[in-house]
Amino acid sequence: MVRFLRSVGRFLKLSAIFAFGAIQLVARRPATPTERAEWLHRFAAGALRSMDIAVRVEGRFPGRGAVISNHTGYLDIMAFAALHPVAFVAKSELANFPLLGWMTTMAGTLYVERGRGGSAVRARSGLQSAAEASLPVVFFPEGTTSNGATVMKFHSGILAQVREAGEPVTAAFVSYRLTADNGPHISLANDVCFWGDDALLVPHVFRLLAIRGIEVSVRIADSPIAFSADPSNRKLAAAEARAAVMELGGIAEPAPVGLSF
């Protein structure tokens, strides 16, 4: 019962934050990338406070260029936005979500549609606008979420666009821990990370709101990735970017499974 009441209380607080944020967007209609990033920064910080989620950062956000990270769920996005005004690159499906899609669009999100010709190229103009406004652009090259145990293969499309534009690419790594005892049935992988084809957003959020002591840590590399490949070698560049993110998070590449005799 205590967990349920905690979920309800935090859900009401979070709903109020969303409602106030929507009213702000309607009233102010932020038009520039900077105004939109500042709105998202304030909104995300307030939303995480309403959920009693602490955010820590190690390192500094770059003044421009891309910040690439592993991806474990929607809290990653909230954490990056709460720490610093940024622009995001996201899958186009997000734009179709009721209310959330409208809010992310108004916040200046750059949408891409994987497999659709020209999508990454169209996003390049948005990347350039963010660069001109001295806003770092955050995206998650895995293209999906995981339980945080490893970092999946990186897609190369947006990464290639950033490199061809001559912008620096800085690695980041996001991780979570619980500073309070929530019982044996609560885990980071299943109750904080949001992943899997059968994961449902609303039930997951409601469960998450009952958890005490969630702390998000974002680690940012001291300098941009020093790629060995030219921008035309997309696969190698994606592999090098993934290796940089894994190294930052202290995650080793799983050893190949040997043959048994």
pLDDT (tens digit per residue) in 88-131: 887 777 777 766 677 788 888 888 776 555 556 666 777 888 88
Residue 257 lies in a domain: no
Tell me whether residue 170 is in a domain: yes
Rounded Cα distance, 174 and 155, in Å:
18
Indicate whether 261 belongs to any domain.
Answer: no
Q: Provide the domain limits for residue 244.
A: 2-249
**What is the band of 261 on the pLDDT scale with cuts at 50, 70, 90?**
very low
Q: Is residue 239 included in any domain, yes or no?
A: yes
Q: Which of 186, 204, 175 is nearest to 54 (CA)?
A: 175
What gap in Å lies between CA 143 and CA 113, rounded to an integer?
11
Neighbours of 92 (CB within 10 A): 14
**Beta carbons within 10 angstroms of residue 97's beta carbon:** 12
Structural domain includes residue 213: yes
The answer to the question of residue 259 being in a domain is: no
The confidence score (pLDDT) of residue 188 equals 92
Angstrom distance (rounded) from CA 57 to CA 201:
26
Residues 1-25 have pLDDT tens digits of: 888 899 999 999 989 988 988 898 8
| Residue 256 belongs to a domain | no
Contacts (Cβ under 8 Å, ≥6 apart) of 54: 48, 179, 214, 215, 216
pLDDT of residue 260: 44
Question: Residue range 27-31: average pLDDT?
Answer: 87
List, for residues 202-252, the tens digit of each pLDDT value. Answer: 889 999 999 999 999 999 999 999 998 777 789 999 999 999 999 999 988
pLDDT at 40 over 80: yes
Query: In the structure, what pLDDT confidence band is assigned to residue 166 with cuts at 50, 70 and 90?
Result: confident
Number of domains in the chain: 1
Is 24 inside a domain boundary?
Answer: yes
Read off the tokens for 146.
């995981």
- Can you give the CATH number for the domain in which 206 is found? 3.40.1130
Query: Residue 115: its pLDDT value, please?
Result: 57
Tell me the percentage of the chain whose pLDDT exceeds 70: 92
CB 93 within 8 A of CB 82: no
